[in-house]
Amino acid sequence: MFDNQSLDRQMKPTSGQPGRPTNWRIILLAVTVLTAAGFALAGSAAAGEIKDPPRWKSGNDFSSLKDWNLKGENIVPHGVNPLYYPIMPGHKHALERSDHPDGKYRKETVVLDTTEDFDIPGIGKFKTAVVQEEERVDGVLTQRAINWLALDKTTNSVYSFGGLSWEIKEGKPIFAGTWRAGDPDGDGVTEPGMLMPGTFTIGDRYIAAGSKSLAFGGSENMEAGIEIKVPAGTFKGCARIREQDLIKLNEITDKVWCPDVGVVSDSSDGKLVISNALPASNPASNVSTVGKASDKPLKQKSPVAKISAAEATKIALERMPGKATDVTIEKKLGKNVYVVEIQTSRGEKDVLVDIESGRILGTE
């Protein structure tokens, strides 16, 4: 591991440093993207559990493409940023969160041995890495995302250029959405996002996902010099980054990134449990369990409801007056619940009604 001084030496100087008036959960994953990365189209694991009010409310509060001087000839699909996980084919790691409201949660990340071609006006032609993220709850594969990441070799900064996302229902993928830099986005064009600057400076802020209509978020460098203990080991010289969704302002995630291994703690996704970026002497470097359930996904049992959707809707409206717009059965807070979507005078709210007892378990 690096200490702060050696970390500074490892980081290359950047000519397009993010301005102070500025990482994102993708990508899709966040997400993703999944995550990229963290602003995921399919709705990543759970909200970031950060209850602080949003510090920023507009994309104008963050540096963006216009500040980064990205050129196609400088963008490479594979490489290493000191605080990011190695964006090299074959890299694998996993985070787990045992206290996730839906059950035991696990996110697995794999850098695939393939690339994606881009040709963006104003940037040019280049290739990105293809990074797969899979999410499991209680061993069941629930989401998959593909993220397109690359580095600027002149600054060593890591960027997200979009991704694809699927929800997995009883082993079958259902397309959930996509965003891609260079594509039309409302009255503008989708822009890439920065996932990790080449030089970490506290206070810097940067757009991390650049689709204003689908996946829009920013990141702020909060702390450096952190020491942290997680299941995969104890790490020093780490940095904390706060990711904030700029569409749903209250969706905030804190992540801790450490030299050599990348993310070790995510307030939404949990703690690092395995990574092949770790020394071979560390048992957590064994990533043989990654992807094992992909070929034979466990089937989720269909929940048996003891109250009807209509009854659940009535119960929800008594708690939250408004107009019910949708009712689905999902697993929340470790239970099968009706999620009753209600349009109120103050916006859209979800009321969670237990499918067996009819008791309201909470609102979102």
For 20-32, write each residue's pLDDT tens digit.
222 333 333 333 3
* Domain end residue (candidates: 230, 253, 285): 285
- Return the minimum-mean-pLDDT range out of 41-50, 175-184, 256-265: 41-50
Does 196 share its domain with 316? no
DSSP 265: E
Does 25 share its domain with 77? yes
Does 93 share its domain with 157? yes
Does 197 share its domain with 248? yes
- The CATH number for 326's domain is 3.10.450.40
Residue 39 CA to chain centroid, in angstroms? 5
Does 118 share its domain with 224? yes
Domain range for residue 337? 309-363
Q: Is residue 154 included in any domain, yes or no?
A: yes
| Tokens at 112, concatenated | 């695939």
Tally of domains in the chain: 2
Q: Is residue 155 included in any domain, yes or no?
A: yes
Does 27 share its domain with 158? yes
Residue 174 pLDDT greater than 90, yes or no: no
Residue 79 pLDDT greater than 90, yes or no: yes
| Tokens at 214, concatenated | 């689908």
Does 359 share its domain with 322? yes
Cα(56)–Cα(205) distance, rounded to whole angstroms?
10
Does 263 share its domain with 313? no
Q: Is residue 315 included in any domain, yes or no?
A: yes
For 46-58, write each residue's pLDDT tens digit.
445 688 898 998 9
Model pTM? Answer: 0.73
Does 206 share its domain with 334? no
Does 261 share its domain with 357? no
Mean of all residue pLDDT scores within the chain: 84
pLDDT given for residue 234 in this prediction: 98
